[in-house]
Amino acid sequence: MVLNRNPENYAEQVEKLAFAPANLVEGLEFSDDKMLQGRAFVYSDAQRHRLGPDFRNIPINKQQNFSPKSMVSSGNGRYVAGEIMRSEIEEPDDFTQAGEKYESLSTLGKKNLVENIVSGLVHAKGETQNIVLRHLQMASPALAKRVWNGIKTF
Q: Helix, strand, or coil here: 5?
A: coil
Amino acid at site 149: N
Interior angle at CA 117, CA 115 and CA 36, nearest 5: 135
Cα–Cα distance, 5 to 145 (Å, whole number)? 46
From residue 50, give the alpha-carbon distance in Å to each of 15, 18, 47.
10, 9, 5
Residuewise pLDDT in 10s, the chain (154 residues): 678 889 899 888 888 888 777 777 767 788 878 888 888 888 888 888 888 888 878 888 877 776 666 555 666 666 778 888 888 878 888 899 999 999 999 999 999 999 999 999 999 999 999 999 999 999 999 999 999 999 999 8
pLDDT at 146: 98
| Residue boundaries of the structural domains of the chain | 10-64, 96-153
Predicted pLDDT at 30 = 82
What pTM was computed for the model?
A: 0.49
The sign of the dihedral angle between the CA atoms of 62, 67, 69, 74 is: negative
